[in-house]
Structure 1
Amino acid sequence: MRAELRSKIIEVCDKKIAAKGDNVGLSFYAFFANKNDNPQLLMEAATWWIQTHQLDHFVKAHKIKQMIQNGL
């Protein structure tokens, strides 16, 4: 996964946790605007989330952040 996407994921997770607490869940769509302006990056996130790690639609933000920080 490219560094740009890793940084974005951590940033979004931090914001969601700060706003809604440690128990907040999110989907990979949380990392993108409602407009599909970067389909390649969206597919990269979807592939990581769905195919590589077989995650549920909603996952705790702290889990996703930890996975990214651990290089998964």
Structure 2
Amino acid sequence: MQKVLKEKIIEVCDKKIAVKGAHVGVSFYAFFKNKNDNSELLMEAATWWIKTHKLNHFEKALKIKNLVEKL
């Protein structure tokens, strides 16, 4: 996983957890703007989320953060 994506995922998860608590859910779309300005990074996130880890559309932010930190 590219460093920029890893950092973005951790940042977004930390913010969501701080605002809504440890049980807040996220989708891989949460790490991107509403427009497709970096399709390569979006596909990397989607592949990691869907193919590599077979995660549901929404997962707990804490779970995602822990998975990414282990990379």
Aligned length: 71
Counterpart of 2:68? Answer: 68
Counterpart of 1:20? Answer: 20
Distance in 2 between the 1:14 and 1:35 partners? Answer: 22
Distance in 1 between the 2:64 and 2:26 partners? Answer: 9
Unaligned 5+ runs, structure 1: none
Counterpart of 1:42? Answer: 42
Q: Could you report, residue by residue, the CA deviation over 1:41-69 in whole angstroms, capped at 9, with x for unpaired residues?
A: 00000000000000000000000000011
Structure 1 residue 6, shift from structure 2 partner: 0.2
Could you tell me the TM-score, scaled by structure 1's length?
0.97
- The ranges of structure 1 where at least 4 consecutive aligned residues each deviate by more than 3 angstroms after the TM superposition are none
**Code of the aligned partner of 2:37:** D
Unaligned 5+ runs, structure 2: none
Could you tell me the TM-score, scaled by structure 2's length?
0.98
Question: Alignment RMSD, CA only?
Answer: 0.4
Identity of aligned residues (%): 68
Task: Give 3-state SS (helix, strand or coil) of 1:46's partner.
Answer: helix
